[in-house]
Amino acid sequence: MNLPTGREAFEPRRPTSKDVAWCPGCGNFGIRNILISALAELGLKPSEVAIISGIGQAAKMPHYINANGYHTLHGRAIPIATGVKAASPELTVIAEGGDGDMYAEGGNHLLHAIRRNPDITVLIHDNQIYGLTKGQASPTTMVGMKTPTQPWGVFEEPFNPIALAIAMNASFVARTFMGYFRESVEIIKKAIQHKGLAIVDILHPCVSFNKVNTYAWYREHTYWMDDHDPHDREAAFKRALEEDPLPLGIFYVNEKPTFEESVPAYRVDKRPLWQREPKLDLVEKFFEDKKA
């Protein structure tokens, strides 16, 4: 049997994977298209890609794309993706989730993934609201927005993932708005190709629960950085602090050794862990040494 190639290869063919649970008009459709294009244009095959997601609407992605996938727990996509990549470095590993998934429940894992620097791509579907649980504030909801659970209006300072990542000297930091298809494909391709942890904050509207940050709002309140050098950390940090309009593009690129390069497991043996066998000769040697 010949499996399809190109964009077609990433279209799911399983019986229930066409039953998409996103609302009509949801930004997640656009992100799905962008991701499929990026994977196809990079010439990848579905069996070479693993998408690890958390919980939430964004996290349903593995069911709507034909690639290896693991739909896991709220906030835990990053450590799981780290384990997948560490065990099988040949895979292209993507951790995917929403703003609640990555910045609230999984915030600690994000911080430490930046320190650990596994060669994975973290895509955050940032719609500044909780969609699946019906409209509560998320860590990126703007101050003043009233929600069913913040009826007095949100007063917490919104999370600034870009500034945070640059402050922690992350390896690759970018922001895009999914309404810009071609630009977003290019950014995600670069993020996947980047060696090290790549964080892409993807702005997208929630048509059901966020009536403030709409398609039109994102177009009006964002701009592309044309004259920015992503290797300049200070400049990147300055840009990251801009609030309105929000800059889009690659803020910061910092080449450094990855987790998989740093562990001793691949220094001599390059095979993924599943191809390996116990080293009983070394166990025998251990016992021999214990005799003395």
Partner 1 sequence: MTEFKEDVSIVLGGAAGQGIQTVEGILTYALKRSGYHVYANKEYMSRVRGGINTTEIRVSSRRVRAFVKRIDILVPFKQGVLSWVSDRLSKETVVLGERENVEEEFLGRVNLVEVPLTKLALETGSQLYINTTAAGLIVGLFHGDFGAVEEYIRKRFGSKGENVVNKNIEAAKKGYELGVKLCEEGTIRVEVGRDEKVREEILLSGTEAVGIGALAGGMNFLSFYPMSPSTGVSTFAAQKAEEFGIIVEQVEDEISAINMALGAWFAGARAMVSTSGGGFALMSEALSLAGMAENPIVIHLAQRPGPATGLPTRTMQGDLNLVLYAGHGDFPRIILAPGSMEEAFYLTAEAFNLADKYQVPVIILTDQYFVDTYYNLPRPDLGRVRFEKYIVEAKPGYRRYELTEDGISPRAVPGYGEEVVIANGNEHDEWGDITEEAELTREMQEKRAIRKLETIRKNAPLPRLIGSENARYLVVSWGSTLHAVEEAIEKLGRDDVAFLHFSWVYPLNPETKRFFEGKTVIVVENNVTGQFADLLKKELGVDVHHRVLKYDGRPFSVEEVFDALKGVVE
Residues near partner 1 (CB under 8 A) are 1, 3, 14-17, 21, 45-48, 50, 52, 55, 60, 62-63, 66-73, 76, 79-88, 90-91, 108-109, 111-112, 116, 259, 263-269, 272-280, 282-284, 286-287, 290-292
Nearest to partner 1 of 223, 286 (CB atom): 286
CA distances to 61, 142, 168 from 165, rounded to whole Å, are: 24, 19, 5
Question: Of 44, 63, 51, which Cα lies nearest the Cα of 5?
Answer: 44
Question: Least distance (Å) from partner 1 to the CB of residue 186?
Answer: 25
Residues in contact with 26: Cβ distance below 8 Å, sequence separation at least 6, in sequence order: 57, 204, 205, 206, 207, 208
Question: Least distance (Å) from partner 1 to the CB of residue 267?
Answer: 7
* 121-126/49-53 β-pairing: unpaired
Nearest to partner 1 of 27, 106 (CB atom): 106
Nearest to partner 1 of 63, 194 (CB atom): 63
Nearest to partner 1 of 199, 240 (CB atom): 199
Question: Least distance (Å) from partner 1 to the CB of residue 155?
Answer: 28
Question: Least distance (Å) from partner 1 to the CB of residue 113?
Answer: 9
Nearest to partner 1 of 22, 180 (CB atom): 22
What's the alpha-carbon Rg for the chain, to the nearest Å? 20
Nearest to partner 1 of 69, 161 (CB atom): 69
By the 10 Å C-beta count (0-12 exposed, 13-18 middle, 19+ buried), 217 is classed as middle
CA 185 to chain centroid, in Å, comes to 14
Q: Are 159 and 186 in contact (CB under 8 A)?
A: no
As a whole number of angstroms, the distance between CA 270 and CA 13 comes to: 33
Question: Least distance (Å) from partner 1 to the CB of residue 191?
Answer: 20
Question: Least distance (Å) from partner 1 to the CB of residue 19?
Answer: 8
For residue 147, give the 3-state DSSP assignment: strand
